[in-house]
Copies of this chain bind each other. A is one copy, B any other.
């Protein structure tokens, strides 16, 4: 493994900061040029460090995604019931998504540029969700046969378009969805 040049390392840091700021201000779909200008580098430099938009987004939000993943087992251990743990974890997930403008949309586009983002969610968050689902199903609190992937996609979809719009509260809708997972009443 060869060491990277000092200027390259410096630029990568600068880019991460610039991207984070740009994402907050203009959403994750902010034009590449804007990020480049903000960082004071050429667009080529961005593509060299982060070949796809996914790579940049992943780099910026990596820690938060990890934190969300880590919270799953913990919630399961400390919650009164698995269903409550599931609901609480989904809440964390929703919080993460709705505070990143455009991220929910990006997550569910089939654009190849978001491949790695997709991959990270699948790799880190999906197993956590699956574990929580399993526990809740095992306790008879939700119907069996609900897939983690479809649940996460559904929840992610529900988060689209929630930008502090008072007429649409993603958390509320997600709450209904999670409630609807319970077994049919007799």
What is the interface of chain A, defined by CB distance below 8 A to chain B? 108, 110, 147, 149-151, 153-154, 157-161, 167-169, 172-173, 175-182, 184-185
Contacts and interface: CB of A to CB of B under 8 A. Distances in A.
Nearest to A179: B180
Contacts of A178: 180
Nearest to A146: B176
Contact of A168 (B153, B179, B180): B153
* Number of copies of chain A assembled together: 2
Contact of A154 (B110, B151, B158, B181): B158
A130 B47 CA distance: 48
A149 B182 CA distance: 25
A175 B110 CA distance: 24
A160 B150 CA distance: 12
Contacts of A177: 173, 176-177, 180
